[in-house]
Chain A
Amino acid sequence: MNDPIEFRPNENEFLKSKILIIEDDKFLRDLLSQKLSREGFKVTAAVDGEEGFKSAVEDAPDLILLDLVLPGIDGFSILERIKKEAKLSSVPVLILSNLGQKEDVDRALALGAVDFMIKANFTPGEISERIKSILKKKYL
């Protein structure tokens, strides 16, 4: 994968990672973008799956935050496509959705998502912490 940052001794370097948010609700998208930008991430956002997938292919993000209930193609299908795309298959995808029944979680994890967070159960701060811990694992 074409990493924008090389591994360096500075362990906070991953904070400059590129995060792609695929979320259809404007308010949630904005709140999350702002929070992650404040944390130092480079954030791009997409409103639906189609746009999100295009942006992912072009931008090669370091992590994708993916909603499941989206207009048009749903998050599960996008996740499948991401994992099939050679260029993107190793990018961690963190599901951020208000679905969250066991079968949804199992399905997303089986499709290759790195983790599953229910939006209503976490704050932007907690989501940001989870992103950091995933990226840390990726770079260490």
Chain B
Amino acid sequence: MKDRIRSSGPVETWFLIFISILIFIFFAILIVSPALSEIRSTSTLALFVSGALMLVLFVRNSAKLLKASSDLTKERDHMASIFNVLTDGIVEYDSNNRIILVNPKAEEIFGVKNEKLRGLDLSKEENSRLKTVYEIVTFDSSKGRQFIFEMNGEKIFLEISTASVSYTGEKKFVKILRDQTRFMELQRIKSEFISVAAHQLRTPLSAIKWALKILLDGESGDLEPSQKGFVEKAYISNDRMIELVSDLLDVSRIEEGRFGYEFKEADFKEVLGGVIRSSEIRAKERTIKLELKEIKGILTKFTFDPQRIQIVLSNLVDNAIKYTPPGGLVSIGYRQNGAFLEVSVSDSGIGIPDNHRRRVFSKFFRADNAVKFQTEGSGLGLFIAKNIVKRHGGSMWFSSELGKGSTFYFNIPLKKEFIPADERPLESLEAI
């Protein structure tokens, strides 16, 4: 817009007008001066010419200015009309957290009009709506973008991002508010559906399990060895289905933020020991060496959810055993890294193809080579594991080389102050 104003050049024209005024005054003085009567007629002519020039320039420039200002108005209206139809809420504020501008969507989210908000020092406001606006303005979106608040008894889910803008030499900030309420509602309905479906599935699965078990135990007469073999396979398949249903239930609860954690002081070493003991049989079956690299003198008693961390460890160790060819090695280690306990599970397995790295923690995802190597697997284990670790305030990552092996790492804080205060529904991107 600035460029456009400059090209119509009113500043330069004003300069020309200024010069012609000077010429005009000069000749006017010449005319009134008695000493210079012989050049009076020339001066009069010059006076008229410069006066006319002045007038023309003035009129032209005014017209230009008028046009520029109307262009500017047009431009502003143009921008404003786009700004007004944005489906994301926009709030602009300065470094003192005073509101400069709010678009209609943001007005709708806040339930407060722009005019009422402009220039307000929100930190001193008692009104609950204005308090919400203040919380949103001061929201630190670098730590997570979800902001939940209640309005008229309804829960509103916002995804907030922050940007800084600078003009007229001053730094201003913009909060972009995406209303995710509908998405979260759909998410909730989907989770509820999974939850109901899973519970409904469990009843017939229990019936199959119990009946097969009675057959296997010979409680309704002995089975032929070949018959027993079939029943055993059916029993194992059924158990796998039960596990899958359990995983689905866990996933839906994690997505809803209702998994339910119990943080208490426990010994990590014991939890890990339990996981290794129960994995030894499977490792032996596949002739895989299971090794624990222990470093003495590390604090292993701290606050975490032992039951959930056990799920994480079992998942990683199970995967390592599952995707390592016979004769391979699975090595588990842990160490203290700053305020965190860092755990690693490495294998000499098939590895993860480069093009699949990004999706390893996505639910239902299984890499091509993993599917070929082991037909079983739901693709839910790592999604669950990663989210459990995240809930602890930690993170999970991996390194891998195709055909050589993978190492999965995770860390969890040793101090309970670092555990996030509450469990939240997953944000849109996390839920994929």
Residues of A within 8 A of B (CB): 25, 27-28, 31-32, 35, 38, 69, 98-99, 101-103, 106, 118-121, 123-125
Q: 28 pairs across A/B with beta carbons < 8 Å?
A: A25-B203, A27-B211, A28-B203, A31-B210, A31-B211, A35-B214, A38-B219, A69-B199, A98-B199, A98-B202, A98-B203, A98-B206, A99-B199, A101-B253, A101-B260, A102-B260, A103-B260, A118-B202, A119-B202, A119-B203, A120-B202, A120-B205, A121-B242, A123-B210, A123-B213, A124-B213, A125-B213, A125-B217
A85 to B217 Cα, complex, angstroms: 39
Chain B 72-92 interface mask (CB, 8 Å, partner A; 1/0): 000000000000000000000
Interface contact tally, CB-CB below 8 A? 53
Asked if A123 contacts B249 (CB within 8 A), the reply is no
4 cross-chain pairs, A with B, having the tightest CB-CB distances, nearest first: A102-B260, A98-B202, A119-B206, A123-B213
* Chain B, Cβ-Cβ closest to A24: B203
Question: Does A28 contact B258, Cβ atoms closer than 8 Å?
Answer: no
- Report the minimal beta-carbon distance from A15 to chain B, rounded to whole angstroms: 17
Closest-by-CB residue of A relative to B259 is: A102
Give chain A nearest CB distance to B415 CB in angstroms: 24
Task: Kindly list chain A residues whose C-beta atoms are within 8 Å of the C-beta of B219.
Answer: 35, 38
Q: Is B262 interfacial (CB 8 A cutoff)?
A: yes
Which B residues between 337 and 353 are near A, CB-CB below 8 angstroms?
Answer: none
Q: Chain A: which residue is nearest B202 at the CB level?
A: A98
Q: Known contacts A102-B262, A103-B258: does B207 contact A25 (CB below 8 Å)? A: yes
Chain B's closest residue to A27 (CB) is B207
Q: Kindly list chain B residues whose C-beta atoms are within 8 Å of the C-beta of A125.
A: 213, 217
B245 within 8 A of A: yes
Most buried by A among B202, B245, B253, B258: B202
- Is B145 an interface position by the 8 A CB rule? no
Note all chain B residues with C-beta closer than 8 A to A118: 202
**A102 CA to B258 CA, complexed, in Å:** 9
Question: In the bound complex, what is the Cα–Cα distance between A137 and B207 (angstroms)?
Answer: 29
* Minimal Cβ-Cβ distance residue in A for B260: A102
B262 and A120: CB pair below 8 A? no
Q: Which residues of B contact A69 (CB under 8 A)?
A: 199
State A28–B202 Cα separation when bound (angstroms): 12
Interface residues of B in 206-240 (CB under 8 A from A): 206-207, 209-211, 213-214, 217, 219
Q: How far is the CA of A123 from the CA of B213 in the complex (A)?
A: 7
**A120, B245: Cβ atoms under 8 Å?**
yes
Whether A123 and B199, one on each chain, are in contact in the complex, defined by CB atoms closer than 8 angstroms, is no
Known A25-B203, A27-B207, A121-B242; 16 more pairs at CB < 8 Å: A27-B211, A28-B203, A31-B207, A31-B210, A31-B211, A31-B214, A32-B210, A35-B214, A35-B219, A98-B199, A101-B249, A102-B262, A119-B202, A119-B203, A120-B246, A124-B213
Q: How far is the CA of A74 from the CA of B249 in the complex (A)?
A: 21
| Bound CA span A121–B213, Å | 12
CA distance A118 to B205 in the complex (A): 12
Residues of B within 8 A of A38 (CB): 219
| Separation of A98 and B199 alpha carbons in the complex (Å) | 6
Distance to closest chain B CB from A67 (angstroms): 10
Q: How far is the CB of A99 from chain B (nearest CB, A)?
A: 7
In the assembled complex, the Cα of A101 lies from the Cα of B204 at a distance in Å of 19
In angstroms, Cα B73 to Cα A24, docked, is: 74
Q: How far is the CA of A122 from the CA of B91 in the complex (A)?
A: 56
- Residues in B with CB closer than 8 Å to A99 are 199
Tell me the bound Cα distance from A106 to B258 in angstroms: 13
Query: How far, in whole Å, are A69 and B196 apart by their CA atoms in the complex?
Result: 12
- Tell me the smallest distance from the CB of B339 to a CB of chain A, in Å: 27
